[in-house]
Amino acid sequence: MRALIAAVLLLSMVVAVPSPAPTTPAQAVWVSQDRLVWHAPTAAVGSYRLRTSAGDLPLTPDPAGLPPELAHKFPNLRGEPTFRVPTGSVDQALRGQLAVQQLAGGVVVAGAGVQTAGVLDDRYAAAATKLAYGPVFGPHGVTLRVWAPTANSVRLKLIGEDRPREMRRDNASGSWSITGPDSWRDRYYLYEVTDWRRTTTVTDPYSVALSMDSTYSQIADLDQPRTMPEGWREEIAHGLGDNPTRHAITELHLRDFSVSDPTVPQADQGTYLAFTHRDSAGMRHLRELAQAGMDTVHLQPTFDLSSVPEDPANQQVPRCRLPELPSNSPAQQECVGWVVASDAYNWGYDPWHYTVPEGSYATAGARSGWGRSEQYRQMVQALHANGDKVVVDVVYNHTPASGDAPHSVLDRIVPGYYQRLLPNGSVADSTCCANTAPENAMMGKLVVDSVVSWVRLYKVDGFRFDMMGHHPKANILAVRAALDALTPQRDGVDGRAIRIYGEGWDSGEVAGGARFVQATQANLAGTGIGTFNDRIRDAVRGGRPTDADPRVQGLGSGLAGDLNGDPVNEGRGARLADYGDLVRLGMAGNLGAYRFRSTRGATVSGHEIGYNGVPAGYAAIPQEAVNYVDAHDNETLYDALTYKLPRATSMADRVRMQQLALAPVLLGQGQPFVLAGTEFLRSKSFDPNSYDSGDWFNRYDPTLATSTFGAGLPLAKDKWAHSAPLLADRALKPSTSDMRAALAATLRLLRIRQSSALFTLDDPALVQAKVSFPDPRAAPGVLVEYLDDTAGPRVDPGHSGLLVVLNPRPQPQSVAVPGDARWRPHEDQDGSGLVFGADRVRVPARSVVVLAR
């Protein structure tokens, strides 16, 4: 069906106007109505012109270069040759083909196409950003509006009508609109956009509902009661409050959650409605986690995505007996690989329509139109009733395609605007796919509008931004401001409490502030917006997830006295010391200003600790650090430790090391984040990038009936030499009792965290006063965290102090305890194996110990 749709869409595109002149790629950048930047490839001789369908415009070199305000807006163009453009005919020029040319003696010696995002913003954004787009219902019917300033005409195609309806252009904003009667409600539609080169039919980028497989947009009114479950108007999104560190997060893929859960009716498995079965194994498990403090469910992308056929009849399944194949065989991956393009599984980081729920997660009868919205609301309502907050994963940094490809929407309406272009005019793809450009006003507006819609329409409690460093900081702050304006009384949302966090990596063509101030880890300090803390991840696991050798050990994987024999771990002393400091800093909220005594003896601040050439400490307040040791990306924690621990390590000790690796996240300051299932040793059989590996490699089983370790060789063939012998080792497959032991230990850590506000300080001054790490020169790798509630104002009426001891070593260790000898095991701590002395305590091997007084 998708192939047919693609063919129909491609056939609708026709060339409308011949090229005014041969051009090279779009290397010129028209930045404002009166300035253009072009580094002509020949010497500065002769004359220059801007060729347009409405006539030629002379270009005058400006030796002063870009004015300061434009140089600030386009730092990547600072110092480039600049030309003045005559004003007054911009509108007509922008609706035709453009080229710049250099002439010598009347002969064209150089030419280029033109990038227009800057001038489009300069000309139209002030008016365009004030308008509402998509279907807007009012007392006199419904208005549809789309921003298409480069179009020569836009027509509305109501499905079922023979002739499209003309839309009216607003010259101030560059938008096109049409108002129709209330009878248009629930009708399906497309836009027919004609520009200088072709006519294309396309869905609405501001769609709120779609037909199955996103063939058409729907004029849906989601404020109507019929689209809501009972009690929805009374539902409130309370967010994560003013201190999100009190809420631990579990990251969950919606289909993983229930597709193989026998306690969910078969028709609802893998769908939104699975969450409405309160007594299913999955919901009982989430409830148990929530009661212990892991009360925030982070859902991987649930917007409309392009990689999964929404009609089950078009979804393929593996045609082999996966469980019968050897545990270290490539056959499973090969069998899954035959259907990856058309099966029911994908992580979903391929956004097609940003503000519509994905149809493949809806049940039969709800995949077309607003039915999927009703079911999404039922899911959120059920999770809230279960004691869970709901965070949704959003991916505004790229689209699955650009240009006139069938899965391209934005670029087919305003070509070259919504996607970020490289100097040669091609679309950047450093985030994986066709990058978007939220630095451009209308793409930035789309991000803000979409986020606000998700909160208002679906009452979610927070957002995780994929590749957030590819957004300008200003764009994320605009999202924050828009959320802050929402109120429970007017919007059903406590906007100020809605959580924002994301991947604050500094990468790609925007790295180092090349195009704007990015929403990266260091740049977001002081905003309250969280970013993932890779420092504590690497120090606990060892190495980096991208290492060619997966056996690099860390503080939680055997580097402290439990070496695996790989030469990469020889001479480990300096690395062990550095890792110890990174873990201590992470447990103090990864604060840049936090001062503590390092492993090497000197008192340092977080800013002075290094991490891959940059300061390790970057947060201003603890909630800005999202601490984690595993996520959907890269190997699960159990798989990583299986690579890294000595192969002879017993399963009981593997369970203990899993808890040691989780403890810095769950017992430190900052917000804890854990991949769903890590609490019971979830495995993906070493698959580091299971985005398209199907249900088989991504299995999630909270019934703990069987471990998913040994599902076959992983996607990353370059690690097969390491993974194959391990997958064949039956001793490495956890039993049900092993998984139950791991779950019980994780719940214990969560309850300990929940028992005291000393673990969730969100004031940097309180962290500095109350959190310390006595005697960092204890046995290498052993870590002692002291939470002193006698310093500063009291926050825990039940404890005057807490002591956390992490002993990753394979032998018991004696550590000094601060103060007098009134320490006792925490009420949730098993005291067996502890030996107290006058000023010391002996803790068991491979143990996490929490003492209280």
For 707-767, give the secondary structure using H, E and C.
Answer: CCCCCCCCCCHHHHHHHHHHHCCHHHCCCHHHHHHHHHHHHHHHHHHHHCHHHCCCCHHHH
CA distance linking residue 465 with residue 630, whole number of Å = 17
Query: Do the Cβ atoms of 636 and 682 come closer than 8 Å?
Result: yes
Q: Residue 650: is it exposed, middle or buried by C-beta count within 10 angstroms (0-12/13-18/19+)?
A: exposed
pLDDT, tens only, 188-218: 999 999 999 999 999 999 999 999 999 999 9
> What structural domains and CATH numbers belong to the chain?
28-122 (2.60.40.1130), 126-227 (2.60.40.10), 232-308+344-520 (3.20.20.80), 532-683+734-852 (3.20.20.80)
Amino acid, single-letter form, for residue 677: G
Query: Do the Cβ atoms of 390 and 297 come closer than 8 Å?
Result: yes
pLDDT cut 70: percent of the chain above it? 97
Q: What is the pLDDT of residue 10?
A: 29
User: What is the tally of helices (H) and strands (E) in the chain?
Assistant: 21, 41
**Residue in this structure with the two tokens 């404002």, named with its chain if needed:** 32
DSSP character at residue 212:
G
Q: What is the pLDDT of residue 492?
A: 95
Q: Please, which residues bridge with residue 145 across strands?
A: 134, 177
- Residue 631 above 80 pLDDT? yes
Query: Do the Cβ atoms of 559 and 572 come closer than 8 Å?
Result: yes
pLDDT, tens only, 316-351: 999 999 999 999 999 999 999 889 889 999 999 999
Interacting residues of 56 by C-beta distance below 8 A, sequence separation 6+: 49, 50
Given the residues 261, 358, 393, 466, select the one marked as catalytic: 466
Provide the b/e sequence for 336-367 (b: ≥16 CB within 10 Å): beebbeebbbbbbbbbbbbbbbbbbbbbeebb
Interacting residues of 137 by C-beta distance below 8 A, sequence separation 6+: 185, 221, 223
Q: For residue 178, how many other CB atoms are within 10 A of its CB?
A: 19
Query: Residue 783: in which H helix or E strand, if any?
Result: strand 783-788
Q: What is the pLDDT of residue 2?
A: 32
pLDDT, tens only, 566-579: 999 998 889 999 99
- Residue 298 above 50 pLDDT? yes
User: Is there a catalytic annotation at residue 466?
Assistant: yes
Q: Please, which residues bridge with residue 84 across strands?
A: 35, 60
- Residue 40 above 50 pLDDT? yes
Q: Please, which residues bridge with residue 419 across strands?
A: 436
- Residue 43 above 80 pLDDT? no
Q: Please, which residues bridge with residue 108 across strands?
A: 103
- Residue 607 above 50 pLDDT? yes
Query: Do the Cβ atoms of 75 and 513 come closer than 8 Å?
Result: yes
pLDDT band of 45, cuts 50, 70, 90: confident
User: Is there a catalytic annotation at residue 69?
Assistant: no
- Alpha carbon 93 to chain centroid, angstroms: 39
Amino acid, single-letter form, for residue 357: P
Smallest Cα–Cα separation from 356: which of 497, 196, 216, 541?
216
CA-based radius of gyration for the chain: 29
CA distance linking residue 278 with residue 218, whole number of Å = 32
Q: For strand 840-843 and strand 813-816, is the pairing parallel, antiparallel, or unpaired?
A: antiparallel
Q: What is the pLDDT of residue 5?
A: 29
E strands in 262-397:
296-299, 303-305, 351-357, 389-394
| Window from 23-27, 553-557, 599-603, 729-733 with minimum mean pLDDT | 23-27
CA distance linking residue 178 with residue 144, whole number of Å = 5
pLDDT, tens only, 681-728: 999 999 999 999 999 999 999 999 999 999 999 988 999 999 999 999
Reduced to 3 states (helix: H, G, I; strand: E, B; else coil), residue 185 is coil
CA distance linking residue 30 with residue 25, whole number of Å = 14
pLDDT, tens only, 506-563: 999 999 999 999 999 999 999 999 999 999 999 999 999 999 999 999 999 999 999 9
pLDDT cut 90: percent of the chain above it? 92
- Residue 747 above 80 pLDDT? yes
Q: What is the pLDDT of residue 6?
A: 32
- Transcribe 625-684 into DSSP letters: EEEES--SSS--HHHHHHHHS-TT--HHHHHHHHHHHHHHHHTSBSEEEEETTGGGT---
pLDDT, mean over the chain = 95
Reduced to 3 states (helix: H, G, I; strand: E, B; else coil), residue 852 is strand
pLDDT band of 89, cuts 50, 70, 90: confident
pLDDT band of 23, cuts 50, 70, 90: very low
Given the residues 195, 251, 304, 503, select the one marked as catalytic: 503
Q: Residue 44: is it exposed, middle or buried by C-beta count within 10 angstroms (0-12/13-18/19+)?
A: exposed
| Window from 115-119, 467-471, 600-604, 842-846 with minimum mean pLDDT | 600-604
pLDDT, tens only, 345-383: 999 999 999 999 999 999 999 999 999 999 999 999 999
**Residue in this structure with the two tokens 């630095």, named with its chain if needed:** 439
222 vs 18: which has the higher pLDDT: 222
Query: Do the Cβ atoms of 303 and 389 come closer than 8 Å?
Result: no
pLDDT, tens only, 403-455: 999 999 999 999 999 999 999 999 999 999 999 999 999 999 999 999 999 99
